[in-house]
Amino acid sequence: MTKMTHKTYTRLRALTVALAALLPAAGCGTEDLRGDVIVASQLTVGLTPDTGLGGWLYVYLSKDECGVDNAACGTYRLQIDGKYVVWAESFEYATMFSANAIGLIVAPGPHVFALVGEDGNTIATTETVEARADMFHHLAVFGPAGALVSRWLVDDPAVVPAGMVRARIVNALAGGAAIAPVQCTDPERVTCAALAGPLVHGGVFQGDFAPAALEQQELGWRVDGVAGAVFNGAFYRNSGPTSGASYSFHMPLRLNADPSCPTCIGSSF
């Protein structure tokens, strides 16, 4: 009788686990198949998923100290309710780095999300949040090392007036400066009116606008107290499949360091 070595056993066990995870995952969005992992399907950015799979979640991460050298800041694994997330498509860990976003299907109901570094240390943990079926969700994690904050947003089409877009700005600007959301009425964005008071770091602005306001890039923001440039990012738009109401999402991370383009954003979601 051939003796099974530890190496052979490990390979067989890994293959068995992978097959057990992948086969059932084809018909579901999020499935708890082992005690220590959750298998999840990835979202395709820009497409509305099929209904009935669960909630649709985008996770965004930005660490102030990473700058443009995101790889040097390491990678982080996503946890849901204390279990690591692995992809149904590859059975690899759901991993992200700074200035990076991932999308996945999550089971409806209450959850706690966390990001865990390569050293096993947790860099961010949310409070218990509620995921809802057939709706987009946004989990934004940002800030300086040791003081990361998170924001949980749900795109519920039922609360948006018919034919309107609910625009959101999350102030994740590195350095902690406050920003002022504005709406401009000219293409050069010179004639602009404040939409709200100063939005402190970590603050969230939201307001309902006609789609034309976004299509004509009327919405933007400026650094609070600084006259001049109005920044306007590529507002990410999405909507639920059962309503004409929609949402936009904009999360500025860094200002542009190039003086040749003073109204450009260095990086944003």
* Confidence at residue 257, expressed as pLDDT on a 0 to 100 scale: 67
Q: Which residues of the chain have pLDDT under 50?
A: 1-29, 31-33, 242
Instruction: Output the average pLDDT for the chain.
Output: 80
Going by their DSSP bridges, the two strands 83-87 and 122-125 should be labelled as unpaired
- Output the 3-class SS for 1-20: CCCCCHHHHHHHHHHHHHHH
Q: Which residues pair with 79 in a beta bridge?
A: 84, 114
In DSSP notation, 107-163 reads -SEEE-EEEEETTS-EEEE---EEE-TT-EEEEEEEESTT--EEEEEEE-GGGSPTT
* Greatest Cα pair distance in the chain: 84
* Confidence at residue 54, expressed as pLDDT on a 0 to 100 scale: 92
Please tell me whether residue 70 adopts helix, strand or coil conformation.
helix
Please tell me whether residue 177 adopts helix, strand or coil conformation.
coil
